[in-house]
Amino acid sequence: MKALVCVKRVIDYNVKPRVKADGSGVDLANVKMSMNPFDEIAVEEAIRLKEKGVVTEIVAVSVGPQKAQETLRTALAMGADRAVLVLCEDEVEPLAVAKIIAGLANEEAPGLIITGKQAIDDDSNQVGQMVAALLGRPQGTFANEISVEGDAIVVKREIDGGLQTVRLALPAVVTTDLRLNEPRYASLPNIMKAKSKPLATKAPADYGVDVAPRLKTLKVTEPPVRSAGIKVADVDALVAKLKEMGVA
């Protein structure tokens, strides 16, 4: 079975984003970029399925700028077999990304598509679900545990009420949650090998997708600074303060 894994280049999770002075967006100049953490988990899970003999080939795909090649090379160094970059220098909205992934899936015919549940830059949490809808495939979102049983995949999902287990007929789409696994570090030999692994470049037009934005960002602002707390002497003082603030 072939696995298609979606990865995205985002601001490194250790970096505090800065808003541009004109409020038009987030400043990306001289900022460290890396693979979206949830996508790292998706790559790791595909590799583990390959190590179990369930997956035979892992194809990493990214929709983004030329520099997203670095992100794909990271996936290749972790253990993916080959990669595809759908080149688009401008930001692409989730629906357009989903259409591109669906087009690539029709071309590659993977038995399993794995994505991170969301990207930490826009927090849309939409691509995996949209891909499943476009392809008419069953989906298991927010995966906490995955196991393949014959021609089906069993996904334990994280939901508000706890954990839910679903059984999906393959081919299927799965989005990964934080507790599914802990991604491995790429070793130096594998980083060197990744440089020679195939990395194809495509364009959105190859899949007949119009990536023109449908939404316009009017303004981006920093979150308000959290005000300092107030110490009270006892419970009576706490209740009185809450009433004063209109909370109680």
Q: For residue range 98-145, what is the model confidence (pLDDT) as tens digits?
A: 999 999 999 999 999 999 999 999 899 999 999 999 999 999 999 999
Q: 70, 9 in Cβ contact below 8 A?
A: yes
Task: Give the pLDDT band (50/70/90) at residue 30.
Answer: confident
- Spatial neighbors of 95 by CB under 8 A, at least 6 apart, are 126, 130, 214
What CATH number was assigned to the domain covering residues 2-245?
Answer: 3.40.50.620
Q: What is the chain's length? A: 248
Show the CA angle centred on residue 99, arms to residues 85 and 119, nearest 5°.
Answer: 65
The residue ranges of every structural domain in the chain are 2-245
pLDDT above 90: residue 29: no
Instruction: Using the predicted structure, report yes or no on whether residue 248 has a pLDDT greater than 80.
Output: no
pLDDT for 24 = 84
Proportion of the chain above pLDDT 70, given as a percent: 100
Percent of the chain, pLDDT > 90?
A: 76
- For position 21, what pLDDT does the model report? 87
Q: pTM (2 decimals)?
A: 0.87
Sign, CA dihedral 195-197-202-204, equals negative
Q: Is the pLDDT of residue 71 over 90?
A: yes
